[in-house]
């Protein structure tokens, strides 16, 4: 057995104990019930496209706490006007929904795309979430001392409501909606699929929000902001870990029931392979894993082809 085989063997057997709080189910039942009581009202405004083969809409819908979440809703103009499959896309940390033209590859495959901004980050979407305690730089330390006020709660509900908005659109087949994303977006794809019955499949590339008690100690990514918060307030460690546990896919992966595609890089220091394997090994739903032994925090090669084979299979 060579070293890479040995490393993969260890990771395939890695099954840390869940850290679920006792009221996890009650928390999410209460949160989702409150969200469902107020459907995601939204507007879509057609806008000019650089391509005659895509129809583009600017979207604004009401997320958690009434924050207007902005996105692109892009349709393949050549694929008809009804019963289209749709990929709801979540971007990586500090990124944005980008521009419609960057989704041309997915449109060419016959998919509609709904790509949203994650609140407060690099796009056109603000953040109305109230703040009652200081933060470190970035966003994830907002409300970090209580799951009820956590930034993670807000962006998770925003993601679930994005799926609901897509399912309401007349062009979309609600039985063929996919949740997808990379890094932060991969984490949001997983958690929104765990909490919503809408996605028929999930694509989580190099996902965050996995085994976060390990990540806060070892990751070089966004969880360094939570670590910096604890460094400034060491007496808050248990509160921070408790809050993170409500949004950790290690504790929610048991809710995934439909096919899941996951990718990771063995040299990734942002979303470490231990964190992703910890979740993947516990997923009971049909699943596929793509491991890139020499990659850091990125996919490569024919990755899009592999994803499309999974979606079309």
The alpha carbon torsion through 233, 238, 242, 243 (nearest 10 deg) reads 0
* Per-residue confidence (pLDDT) for residue 81, from 0 to 100: 81
Catalytic residue among 183, 193, 196, 219: 183
* Per-residue confidence (pLDDT) for residue 265, from 0 to 100: 98
* Per-residue confidence (pLDDT) for residue 106, from 0 to 100: 97
Phi, psi of 6 (to 5 degrees): -65, -45
* Per-residue confidence (pLDDT) for residue 41, from 0 to 100: 84
| Residue 268 designated active-site | yes
93 labelled ligand-binding: yes
Query: What's the length of the chain?
Result: 313
* Per-residue confidence (pLDDT) for residue 39, from 0 to 100: 85
* Per-residue confidence (pLDDT) for residue 3, from 0 to 100: 94
* Per-residue confidence (pLDDT) for residue 62, from 0 to 100: 95
Stretches in the chain below the pLDDT threshold 70: none
| Residue 297 designated active-site | yes
Phi, psi of 68 (to 5 degrees): -75, 120
* Per-residue confidence (pLDDT) for residue 204, from 0 to 100: 99
The domains of the chain, with CATH numbers, are 22-312 (3.40.50.1820)
Residues with Cβ within 8 Å of 220's Cβ and at least 6 positions away in sequence, in order, are: 269, 270
Q: From residue 105, how far is each of 53, 180, 304 by CA, in Å? A: 12, 15, 9
Give the whole-angstrom CA distance, residue 208 versus residue 188. Answer: 8
């Amino acid at each position: 057995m060579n070293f890479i085989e040995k490393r993969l063997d260890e990771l395939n057997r890695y099954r840390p104990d869940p850290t679920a709080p006792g009221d996890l189910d009650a928390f999410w039942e209460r949160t989702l019930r409150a969200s469902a009581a107020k459907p995601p009202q939204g507007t879509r405004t057609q806008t000019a496209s650089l391509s005659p083969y895509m129809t583009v809409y600017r979207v604004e819908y009401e997320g958690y706490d009434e924050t207007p979440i902005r996105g692109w809703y892009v349709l393949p103009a050549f694929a008809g006007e009804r019963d289209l499959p749709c990929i709801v896309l979540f971007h990586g940390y500090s990124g944005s929904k980008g521009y419609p033209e960057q989704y041309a590859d997915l449109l060419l495959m016959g998919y509609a795309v709904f790509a949203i901004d994650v609140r407060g980050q690099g796009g056109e979407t603000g953040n109305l979430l109230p703040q009652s305690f200081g933060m470190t730089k970035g966003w994830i330390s907002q409300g970090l001392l209580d799951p009820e006020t956590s930034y993670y709660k807000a962006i998770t509900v925003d993601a679930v409501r994005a799926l609901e908005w897509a399912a309401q659109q007349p062009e979309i087949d609600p039985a063929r909606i996919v949740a997808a994303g990379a890094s932060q977006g991969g984490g949001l794809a997983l958690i929104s699929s765990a909490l919503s019955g809408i996605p028929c499949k999930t694509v989580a590339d190099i996902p965050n929000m996995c085994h976060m008690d390990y990540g806060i100690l070892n990751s070089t990514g966004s969880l360094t902001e939570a670590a910096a918060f604890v460094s400034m307030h060491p007496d808050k460690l248990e509160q921070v870990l408790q809050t993170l546990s409500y949004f950790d896919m290690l504790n929610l992966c048991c809710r995934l029931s439909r096919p899941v595609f996951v990718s990771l890089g063995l040299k990734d220091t942002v979303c470490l392979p231990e964190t992703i394997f910890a979740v993947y090994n516990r997923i009971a739903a049909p699943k596929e894993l793509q491991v890139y032994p020499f990659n850091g925090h990125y996919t490569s090669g024919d990755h899009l082809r592999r994803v499309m084979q999974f979606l079309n299979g």
